[in-house]
Amino acid sequence: MRKMIAPLVCVLVALLVTPPARAEESAADIARRSRERGALNLLGVRAELKLTSVSKAGQRKEQVLTSTAKRVGGRLHSLARFSQPAGVAGVTVLTVEGAGGEPADISLYLPKLKRVRKVARTQRGQSFMDTDFNYADLGGTGGERDESLRLAGETKVLDRLVHVLRGKAGPDSPYGEVTLYVDKETYVPLKADYSDREGKPLKVYRAAQLKTFKDRVIAERAVMENLQTGSSTTLEVLKLEDVQLGDEAFTERALERG
């Protein structure tokens, strides 16, 4: 896996339709709601996703995976399993929301080795499966701490009114500062700007196309662009279905069973 910097984003996105944010809602409250509405964190829904990465030189790589999520013990548990191409089939990632502002806990199952390994905090800046998303993105929105976020006004993205949240990333994140643009009606993350540790623009995440799925709003297409390397990764939602997995499915033991 090559190192990049970077979400998953954010990265990535299907959301429950929820009421507009209340006046007393804090930036941390909005960020928490937004985390549950990315394509890798879909509560009670299984999404089939395609990741298409394109290098600055135009080289393309496509991967297909399924993703679902559930709250277990009050913490968001997300499961992503790759199916294509053959070289990555069976690779599975379990992400467990951190408690008390701590970074997410990430476990990676490698079928060729038949073992589960933890992704260390020092590895959160590494590219996730050779894409422009990295492991920090899998925990939500890039590793920033909720308590560091502040409301910085509102604007429009995709002609929708959004909250603008800004904050410093945590010490284990590859980012310096993160700016989130969260839809005020649905809490879908529509855009995110990331700077590196030196304050230089690093990446931009954008929802490119929205649609509805039953009672949800879906960002069915989104792009993560690396401004420093010239590469980008497009995430597309291919299929969605309601599913309710048991708590046991979101454990390392279940990863080992495949």
Give 54's strand partners: 60, 232
- Just give the CATH number of 13-257: 2.50.20.10
- Residue that wins the pLDDT comparison between 6 and 165: 165
pLDDT band at 107 (very low <50, low <70, confident <90, very high): very high
211-227 mean pLDDT: 91
Residue 139 pLDDT: 65
State both tokens at 8: 């998953």
Residue 118 pLDDT: 93
State both tokens at 202: 């690093």
Residue 33 pLDDT: 86
Could you state, in order of their start, the residue ranges of all structural domains in the chain? 13-257
Q: What is the pLDDT of residues 40-60, one digit of tens each?
A: 777 888 999 999 999 999 999
Phi, psi angles (nearest 5°) of residue 119? -90, 110
Q: What is the pLDDT of residues 178-194, one digit of tens each?
A: 999 999 999 999 999 99
Q: How far apart are CA 207 and CA 157, in angstroms?
A: 9
Residue 214 pLDDT: 86
Nearest to 187 by CA among 21, 11, 9, 1: 21
**Maximum CA pair distance of the chain?**
51
Q: Dump the DSSP string for 128-160.
A: STTSS-BHHHHTSSSSB-GGG-EEEEEEEETTE
Q: State which of 30-34, 39-43, 115-119 shows the largest mean pLDDT.
A: 115-119
Model pTM? 0.85
Nearest to 108 by CA among 100, 170, 126: 126
State both tokens at 163: 């909250």
